[in-house]
Amino acid sequence: EVQLVESGGALVQPGGSLRLSCAASGFTFSSYWISWVRQAPGKGLEWVANIKEDGSDKYYVDSVKGRFTISRDNAKNSLYLQMNSLRAEDTAVYYCARQYNWNDGLDYWGQGTLVTVSS
Amino acid sequence: DIQMTQSPSTLSASVGDRVTITCRASQSISRLAWYQQKPGKAPKLLIYKASSLESGVPSRFSGSGSGTEFTLTISSLQPDDFATYYCQQYNSFPYTFGQGTKLEI
């Protein structure tokens, strides 16, 4: 069974840092692109970042460039999102989701982890 | 960045109705997906590449369109279909989502 399980969400003060993790199982993790997608409370979906299967290419939405870093460890079947200089507007549920290639959508999603940025 | 605009924002319908949701892209794309999301749950992929039905998704869901205009159609609404629907372009980075359409009873 395909599973993506996020962890690491917490309450953090503005300007603080947090590292999210996404543990994958039930599929060949190293063959998939993985994205982080977030959803602020009561709002729509916002794509945040993507990393290609071997970690060679990474992409970010403008609002997080220079603050967030996506990475992966294929030996551990894990994805990470290092979030620095956090702002109130980063408050959201963060999902990881997999994508096989350019032709496919985000076909499996984790259950999400909540990040709250507040003093 | 490619902007995605969905309409309507809210749609009221009844069980058995045929409903259509529209998504417009700010430039021509070929890679478009549709997702269903229920409260407190992760999104679920319904359609990819504009018209390909994801495995396990009921055939009452269909997608069509090309270029800048796309539609999601539910041929006969079932009680389980009342949810929020999002389109997403994955033609180029940054990926972008429409603002969502809430389908209400």
How confident is the model over A74-97, as pLDDT tens digits?
999 999 999 999 999 999 999 999
Q: Which residues of chain A have pLDDT under 70?
A: none
Q: From residue B81, how far is each of A16, A32, B54 by CA, in Å?
A: 40, 29, 16
- CA–CA separation, B30 and B50 (whole Å): 7
Q: Across the interface, do B88 and A47 touch by the CB < 8 Å criterion? A: yes
What pLDDT is attached to residue A103? 87
Q: Is B100 within 8 Å of A46 when comparing Cβ atoms? A: no
Provide the mean pLDDT of chain A. Answer: 97
Q: Give the nearest partner residue to A47 out of B42, B95, B99, using CB atoms.
A: B95
> Which tens digit of pLDDT belongs to each residue from B76-91?
999 999 999 999 999 9
Could you tell me how far CA A22 lies from the centroid of its own chain? Answer: 7
- The reported pLDDT for the residue numbered B47 is 98
| B6 band by pLDDT with thresholds 50, 70 and 90 | very high
